[in-house]
A and B are shown apart, each in its own frame.
Chain A
Amino acid sequence: DIQLTQSPSSLSASVGDRVTITCRASQDIRSGLGWFQQKPGKAPKRLIYDASRLQSGVPSRFSGSASGTEFTLTITSLQPEDFATYYCLQYSNSPFTFGPGTKVDIK
């Protein structure tokens, strides 16, 4: 099975900060990775698919990139509604696997 690691596991940031979250895959998954945002008590919401494609309706301050087996989610100017937990998901191979999550909270 493909393993995903995320770093950091948590971070504290201020409104307006640039935030970067990294997801590393244990083997080549090409561009088969998505990013999800989850707020407490709510279902996850897809932000990015195919490593860098922005989901319709998602603000452009969110972006995704890839380099080999390392994937990055960037939030260019953190907004109050962005404080949440972020997960990556690989769908290149079954079984699909989620990363362990990165919690973004207010500094």
Chain B
Amino acid sequence: QVQLVQSGAEVKKPGASVKVSCKTSGYTFTDYYLHWARQAPGQGLEWMAWINPNSSATNYAQKFQGRVTVTRDTSISTSYMEISSLRFDDTAVYYCASLAPSGPGVWGQGTLVTVSS
């Protein structure tokens, strides 16, 4: 079955970077865009970016432009989301998801990133 499995929780200091991975299985990785979203504690969902795994083209929400980088490795059907210059308000659960209407509509289990001094 279709699965998106993310890397484990991270604790980082302000100003550091973090890289979260999302390994897909059960479908052809290059068939559907992969999206990243986050959810701060007690808050709603916030869309961050998508990547076209076929071409590596990306699109970012303006607030994340320049500080977030999404990449992929087609050889292992995995996408990565890196955030630099972490701030306290980046503390959140980060999700990868297949959101295309024609796609499987599956989400990863989430990765908690905690920014703490």
- Give A contacts to B, CB under 8 Å: 1, 32, 34, 36, 38, 43-46, 49-50, 53, 55, 87, 89, 91, 94-101
Contacts and interface: CB of A to CB of B under 8 A. Distances in A.
Contacts of B46: 98
**B interface bracket (residues with beta carbon within 8 Å of A):** 20 to 34
Contact of A95 (B59, B95, B101, B105): B59
B99 A96 contact: yes
B44 A100 contact: yes
A95 B47 contact: yes
A34 B99 contact: yes
Interface stretch (B10-18, B77-85, B107-115): B107-115
Contact of A87 (B44, B61, B100): B44
B99 A91 contact: yes
